[in-house]
Structure formats: C-alpha cells, structure tokens
Structure 1
Amino acid sequence: MTSADTSPADAALQDLDGRLVTRVAEIVREELTERRRQLAMISPETAELADRLLDYLEGGKLLRPRFCYWGGLAALQRDPSDAEVDALARYGTAIELVQAAALLHDDVIDHSPMRRGRPALHVQAECQHREGGLAGSSEDYGTAVAIVLGDLALSWSEQVAAGVQGDPGAVAAARREFDALRTEVMSGQFLDILHQAGGFASAEDAEQAALAVIRWKTVPYTVLRPVRIGAALLGAPEEDLETLSEWAIEVGTAFQLRDDLLSVVGDQNETGKPIGGDIIEGKRTVLLARTEVAADPAGRALLADAVGRSDASAQQISAVHELMVSTGAVASVVAEVEQRALRAGELLDDARMLGRTGSAGLSALAAQATDVEAFTA
C-alpha cells in the first residue's frame, strides 16, 4: 500500500497499514527475544533456533496479518484504538508463525531449494553441517532442523494467540477461527501430498483435485480465516462473517491460481523461487491439469518426460512453458483469476454494513494478491 502520489484516503490507509506493520515487527522481536531467553537456559545451541526463526521471518510481506487486520477494521465504523491494533497485530503475528511453520515443512516436502530469494532453511542447515564437518548425513541434518524449527514456530503461534486480550466472547470466537485455520491448512497439505501421489480418488478429476487443495491448503490460512479472525475479534456479527467468507474464498482461490502462474511463467525476482520449480517438483496445479487436457499427444508426451523430473533440462522446462501458453491454459487461468477478483469486488461493494475503511483496505490487498497484468500485457 505505497505510492509516490496518493490521495488523502490512500494516505489514511497507508497510515493505518503502517500501524500494523510497526506493531507486528515489535511483537515478533519481543516474543522471539523471550523465546531465546528461555532456550538459552537449555543451551547456547538451542538459543540459536530463535535467531534462525527471526532471520527466517525477515522479508515477509505480512499478507496474512494484513488480511486479519483489515478484516478487523471492516467490523468497525471508525478507526481502531491502540488496544485493537495490538490485538489484531498479535493475532497477525500468530498467523505469521503458522505461515513460517507451513513453509519450513513445505520446502522440505517439496525439496524446494529457495525461499524469498535465499536458500531454504533446510538447505542452509545442510550447508552449515557440511562446512562444520559434523557427523552423519548433511541432508538429513538439514531436514531435521527445518522440521524442529517448524514445530517450534507452530507451538509459539499457539502461545502468542493465547495472549490476545479483549472482549471474552469476541476473543473466544477469534480463537475458534484460529483453531480451524491450523486444522484446515494441515488437512490441505495432506491433500496436496495425496494428489501429488495420485491418490486423491474422491476428486472428480485432476482439476477438481487441484481446486480442492487450493480450497483447504491456501484459502483458509491465507485469506479466509485471517479475515474472519480479525472480524470476529472486533465483534462482527455472523452475517458480516459470512459475507467476508464468500469474498475470501474468491480472493484466496484467485491468489493461488496467480501464484501457480508465477511459479512457471513469472519473474524470479517477484517469487523468490526458481522459475520452473513447480514443473521440476511435479506440482499438480490447475494450470497443469488444463494443459494436459488441451495438449495433443506430442504435448502430453513432453509433459510426461519433463514434469516431476529433477533432471529436466532448461529446454524441456521452456518447452512446457510454451505448451502452457499455446494450449490456452495460461490464458484460461488468467481469465479465472480476473473473474474471481471481479466477483470479490462486487461482494464488497454490496456489503454496505461493513466499515468503509476496512473494506477499502481489503480491496487494496485483493488487488495486489490477484494482479495478473504481467500475463495480459
């Protein structure tokens, strides 16, 4: 939410956004400083785990805390108090720790070498093991460290959420949403693993399986539950929560469809991961499902030879990119992102009972999360 030339309304949104960003940064540092103190009582080595996590969180876009924040402000017809900003920022921090846990483990599961433009944490730990001349397998060590740190992040997210204060009924409602978030994202992670293995038999076809993975792995912890946590925490009635849910499902689905595009035909500087990584990993995305359906026999043979192959050549990856474009699969996914973004905008426009400031913040976030201009230029 930054621009060199902003209107007074945009400037007000930026000021409100800045309050969240500042407070989340403060809470993250406070919480991890305290965790480091506790770990230092065990050993100097365990204390370094808090340092690793603090470093890992650097550079995050705070997308999920922002959805939580603006969802909360959508429940208000005024600017938030300092206490309300603090409560929303604490839940945003808890969600960010869940995100860290999910990414740490996801990179291990997917054998992803990079995250946010840097070596993935398991790769960093593997290199440190090797350079330090430690005993055993460097790869196994790196995997184990990432799993342990992910478990710690998930545990600490629970502790941060438990410290949120406010109206008891609203705090309890927000906590139910947070509990659902963690259950749903882990369930979605399992469905993703199952789909990758070809075992998601209850889905109608490959595209529906991929959409189900998006619905339960990405949507709940990226948009749906963060928005509902914030709104519930500031007292939104059930009618408003349901409206926000409809909006969040459209935005969250569009966000992941766009992310799938970026992973194969995007800009590495934007994604922080190697372009073509989803092809090498064999990610069973909606984009891939549509490419397979639309491809001719030669195209399907290319996909069989390249997708899911760690030794796929740059030429094969480039050929798959070209096939995704030539079959119309990229264009169809872009169109769906645009349609879902439009539907989400209509839902917010019709939700007159929501706070205008919060709605404007949500609309700005959605625009960022669903921007496909790079694919239509």
Structure 2
Amino acid sequence: MSPAGAPLTGADLRELDRRLVERVESITADELALRRDHLAEISPETAALVDTLARYLDGGKLLRPRFCFWGGAAALQREPTEDELEALARYGAAIELVQAAALMHDDVIDHSPVRRGRPALHVDAATSHELASLVGSSADYGVALAIVLGDLALSWAEQLAAGVEVEPSRTARARREFDDLRTEVMSGQFLDILHQAGGFSSARDAESAALSVIRWKTVPYTVLRPVRIGAALMGADDTVLDQLSAWAIEVGTAFQLRDDLLSVIGDQDDTGKPIGGDIVEGKRTVLLARTESATDGAGRALLESVIGRSDATPAQIQQAHQLMVSSGAVRSVAEEVRARATSAREILDGATGIGEPGRAGLAALAAQATDVESLPR
C-alpha cells in the first residue's frame, strides 16, 4: 500500500490488481465450498456439479471482475480500502459466475466444441456419459448438464451479489446495474440467435445487426455493467457514470471486434478456441458482413458454401480466411478496433471526477482488451 496521498506507481497498480484477483478467487472457492456442502445433502452426484463448475472456472482471466474493480477505483480519489476491495471483489465473483453461465449456454447454442483450450462443458459431459456407459444419448446428456449447471451458476451469482452491502443507496444502485447486466446479455444472446437465423429484420443491414449483437450481448456484461457496478458501489455520481459508459461502449465493442479477428488470424494456443470456429458455427460477425460487401459473386458463393457448415474442410476454411484478408475486411476491422481504442483513451483522458488510480487501471485493461498490434498480419 502506498503512503497516504502519494501517487500509485505501475508496481502499485499491478499489486492492487493482483490482490483483487487473489480475493476474487478466494471468494469463489469459499462460495463453491458452501454450495458443495449444500448439494452433498441431496446426493454425492449433485455435489460433484460444484467440482465441474470449479474446473470450468479455472483458467479464466477475470477480465470482468477487474473492470468492476477499476471502475470502483475510478469513482474514488484514492486507493480502495480493504472493505471496499472486499465489496468490489464479491461483485466481481458474482459477475464471473454470470460469465460462466453465459459461456456454457452459448457453447451449446453455437455447437462450440472447445472453450479455454479444453472440451466445452457439454462436450466433456457427453464424453463422461459415454465412458460411464450410461443409457440414452450422450450428446443430449451433455447439453442437459450444461443447461442445468449454467442455471445453477446464474442462481449462485444472484445470491452472491445480494450479499454485498455498503451504504444503502450505493447498494441499490449497484444492484440495479447487476440486474441490467443479466437482462441485457440474455437479450443480446437472443438477438445473436435471431441474426444467425436471418430474422433480425429491424436492423438496417448485416453489419448493423452484428454491431447491435455486440452492443447488447458483449458490451454490457464484459465492460459496461461491470465498470458501472463498481463505480456505483463506490458512490459515483451520474456524470462519472455517463463518462465511464461512453468509454466502456468503445472498449467493449473494440474487444469483440478483436475477438472476431482472432478466429481468423489468431493463435489457437493463445485463444483456447479453434481457428475457424466462427466460420464453422456460422457466426454473422462484422468481419463476415464486410467480407460479403467487399467481395464479388464468386467470393460470396465461396462463403455461402462454407459458413455454418460443420463438415467444412480445413482447406475450405482456409480459403474463406484468405478471402477475409484479401478483400480488406480484416484490415478494415483492425482499423476500427484501433479507432475505437483511441476514442476510448480520449474519453478517459478527458473525464472529470475520476481518481487517477482508477483511470490508470482502466487504461491498462483497455489496452489489453483492444490490442491488435500483436496479432499476425
């Protein structure tokens, strides 16, 4: 902890971040232990669900809890106290459980086989069903388990957040933000499903639809609401919340656009997801919309023959990737990520009423979440 009134150094900020991560992990472990004890009263098999969830959470970068924490620090003009860090960490742990639930269900919806470099939960459960020689469909069992465990994680997130209490008006404001987070991410998930099915008719065009999905599926639970939860919990006024919101929308959008690029030009070992996964899953991304707009009839025919085809060969996927690059779509999306990252920096630099530790912490997180310079070219 730095002396009172002294500016925090880079080392101080990293230490604060480390303490936050350590506390989130400890809170999560304690909460899961309590849930395991409860489920053990039902049966050994239900208790094992907690072990499955713990394994699933392992390896996460805790990006969302960190946005929550540094949003709280931004609302303060000083380093958070231990009690403040505890409150922010508990909300961060709750947000991470929402994240887990969303990913479990999203992988089922998208038929994604891999998550964080490991088999997706529904795939792993299907394998366990098969190895145990249980009756019925292994695939159906895996899907059912992912739905049930996702619902449990969402329920436990609600209970964890409900236990965070500070000054009553701040508690109530943070709780409203948490409620909005869950409503918005589920609404965004629906828009994603609808867009994949070609039914998002109120959107102007394919790119507008993809951007709307980002705005309501990714932005709220990745950056916007976590930052606002932390800031509201630490007493931010409406002016500060509005400035943080403008910043968060730019960062969250850039984050997802960058993630779309990773499916084409990323490193599978770094991403933990198979390269080409978005093509096989038929994800209607901004990158795909720009490729379709920039290419000719032959290019569009190629995309139509590959996008959403689970039987697409590696060679076909590579052809689609090459088209995304040669059409200029990859370069265009990368440029937009840079532009949004620059806009976010300008918003944060010009924001008033924000503490310097929080400003520095948010800037560091944004740089990490929007980096495209390290991607292959």
TM bin, normalised by shorter chain, reads: over 0.9
Shift of 1:352: 3.2
- Segment drifting more, 362-371 vs 346-355: 346-355
Alignment of 1:307-318 (within 5 A): 307-318=307-318
Partner of 2:262: 262
Give the Cα–Cα distance (whole angstroms) in 2 for the partners of residues 298 and 22 of structure 1.
53
Alignment check: 8 A CA contact 2:266 2:275 kept = yes
Helix, strand or coil at the partner of 2:9? helix
Give the Cα–Cα distance (whole angstroms) in 2 for the partners of residues 58 and 192 of structure 1.
27
Alignment of 1:1-377 (within 5 A): 9-375=9-375
Give the Cα–Cα distance (whole angstroms) in 1 for the partners of residues 309 and 127 of structure 2.
24
The unaligned stretches of length 5 or more in structure 1 are 1-6
Give the Cα–Cα distance (whole angstroms) in 2 for the partners of residues 38 and 193 of structure 1.
35
Q: How many residues are treated as equivalent by the alignment? A: 371
Shift of 1:263: 1.3
The unaligned stretches of length 5 or more in structure 2 are 1-6
CA RMSD of aligned residues (A): 1.0
Alignment check: 8 A CA contact 1:39 1:47 kept = yes
Shift of 1:353: 1.6
Give the Cα–Cα distance (whole angstroms) in 2 for the partners of residues 75 and 242 of structure 1.
12
Shift of 1:375: 4.0
Give the Cα–Cα distance (whole angstroms) in 2 for the partners of residues 246 and 376 of structure 1.
30
Shift of 1:8: 7.1
Q: TM-score, normalised by structure 2?
A: 0.97
Percentage identity across aligned positions?
70
The code of the aligned residue for 1:39 comes to L
Shift of 1:269: 1.1
Give the Cα–Cα distance (whole angstroms) in 2 for the partners of residues 34 and 367 of structure 1.
37
Give the Cα–Cα distance (whole angstroms) in 1 for the partners of residues 358 and 18 of structure 2.
14
Helix, strand or coil at the partner of 1:311? coil
Alignment check: 8 A CA contact 2:254 2:341 kept = yes
Alignment check: 8 A CA contact 2:265 2:376 kept = no
- Segment drifting more, 78-87 vs 367-376: 367-376
The code of the aligned residue for 2:249 comes to I
Alignment check: 8 A CA contact 2:240 2:352 kept = no
Partner of 1:3: none
Alignment check: 8 A CA contact 1:102 1:150 kept = yes
Runs of 4+ in structure 1 off by over 2 angstroms are: 374-377
Shift of 1:374: 3.1
Helix, strand or coil at the partner of 1:251? helix
Alignment check: 8 A CA contact 2:266 2:376 kept = no
Alignment check: 8 A CA contact 1:74 1:355 kept = yes
1:289-309: per-residue Cα shift (whole Å, max 9, x none)?
000000111111100111110
The code of the aligned residue for 2:279 comes to I
Alignment check: 8 A CA contact 1:334 1:375 kept = no
